[in-house]
Structure 1
Amino acid sequence: MVDVGRSMQEPTLLILTALADRPRHGYGLAQEILAISQGRVRLRTGTLYGSLERLQGEGLIEVFSEEVVQGRLRRTYTLTRTGRDTLAAEVRRITVHAREATRRLKQATIAPAGGPA
């Protein structure tokens, strides 16, 4: 399980988010991550599959199904209960920080360039 005391790496967050609504296979995950990140994050095949293997080892995702497509094994992944709980905890952590940053930005006074804030 991911240590919820520290922030989750962005690829992990994006993979878990992409699996939050339904199971997906590798190519589908890559496309969903590209959409979620608005084109900013394009996971290379090696990075994606290495991450999927690591997340499986951590018990955050599992193989939902396997099928042979054009002579190649296609695995579809899904979140485990632990993965769903870990993602929810990360969302809460991010939300708390975002609210505080927003609050401080709204109350901040603008200091002259080079001067104290």
Structure 2
Amino acid sequence: MSSEMREPTFVILSSLASGSRHGYGIITDVAALSSGALRLQAGTLYAALDRLRVDGLVEVSSEDIVQGRLRRSFSLTSLGRTRLAEAAHRRQQGAEIALRRLNGGVVGA
């Protein structure tokens, strides 16, 4: 996952950074974290979570039966925390450069 992390992945991983969440909890937290700009559908979320599991960034932390339905909770792996931190740092650096340029500052190497 050396390429730039896409926004939905970044926000899903950010949602899990504070602890384990089930699907609906991730969906509502992603909407809150993105100020409503990103509204995930359940199918989209679970496809993303499956991909993130294959990539080793998230794992199933628990499985419960609630009202006859399986409810899985997901959490970040240590690799997921590392990749999220790297992506957050890159985004922060890019934002700082953009702000300096907007304010007429000189950007160093």
TM-score by length of 2: 0.93
Counterparts of 1:1-117 in structure 2, within 5 Å, are 2-3=1-2, 6-107=3-104
The one-letter amino acid of 1:87's match is L
Could you tell me how far 1:65 is from its partner in structure 2? 0.4
The one-letter amino acid of 2:70's match is L
Distance 2:24 2:42 in 1: 9
Distance 1:66 1:27 in 2: 14
Distance 1:38 1:100 in 2: 23
TM-score by length of 1: 0.87
Distance 2:72 2:57 in 1: 16
CA deviation string 1:53-73 (max 9, x = no partner) = 000000000000000001111
Q: CA RMSD, aligned part only?
A: 0.9
Could you tell me how far 1:45 is from its partner in structure 2? 1.1
Could you tell me how far 1:98 is from its partner in structure 2? 0.6
Which ranges of structure 2 fall in alignment gaps of 5 or more residues?
Answer: none
Name the SS for the 1:29 alignment partner: helix
Quick check: 22-31 or 37-46, which moved more?
37-46
